[in-house]
Amino acid sequence: MFLMGMMLMVAVNVHAQEYKKSTVKGIANGFISTLMQGNLKGTLYFFDPSYVAEQHDNFLEGRTEQFVAEFLAGNVKKDFYAITPQLNRIKSMKVKKTCCDLEKDEIYADVNILMDYGVKYTVRLQLRVTESGDLRFIGAVG
């Protein structure tokens, strides 16, 4: 039993070391590229499958545009007002900062979003390690 526990800890630690800030940035940039190309269905690949099943498939009944827009919702000017973007009005998105600290369960990419009407805001895109060991986005449910 002890040996099995030690082997599991080593396996988790080896796998955890694969995730770096550059990994998180690459995932975020892949998502941004897919979204900016207008491939909404393709963006679903970047989300945790269990999150997609619960939020996108069940709660939102497959409304992909609403799912992605709500995931990118944020606050403008330090809580001045909240925005849920119209996806076709996003002019640009750029990764500002990433964090990958598995011990603190902090894996995220802060992304600056510029709307075509001049509004700018930053949204924190949270990630988690899935059951298959991949990093994928998660968000609020409900």
> What's the pLDDT tens digit per position in 75-90?
887 767 889 999 999 9
Please report, for the domain that includes residue 63, its CATH number: 3.10.450.50
Q: What is the pLDDT of residue 7?
A: 38
Q: What is the pLDDT of residue 13?
A: 39
pTM: 0.84
Tally: H helices and E strands in the chain: 5, 6
> What's the pLDDT tens digit per position in 15-53?
444 689 999 999 999 999 999 999 999 999 999 999 999
Domain boundaries, position 133:
2-138
User: Does residue 11 or residue 113 have the better pLDDT?
Assistant: 113
83, 73 contact by CB (below 8 A): yes
Q: How many domains does the chain have?
A: 1
Tallying the residues shown for the chain, one arrives at 142
> What's the pLDDT tens digit per position in 97-134?
999 887 777 899 999 999 999 999 999 999 999 988 99
Q: Write the CA distances from 83 to 9, 11, 76, 116, 125, integer angstroms.
A: 42, 41, 7, 14, 15
User: Does residue 96 or residue 2 have the better pLDDT?
Assistant: 96
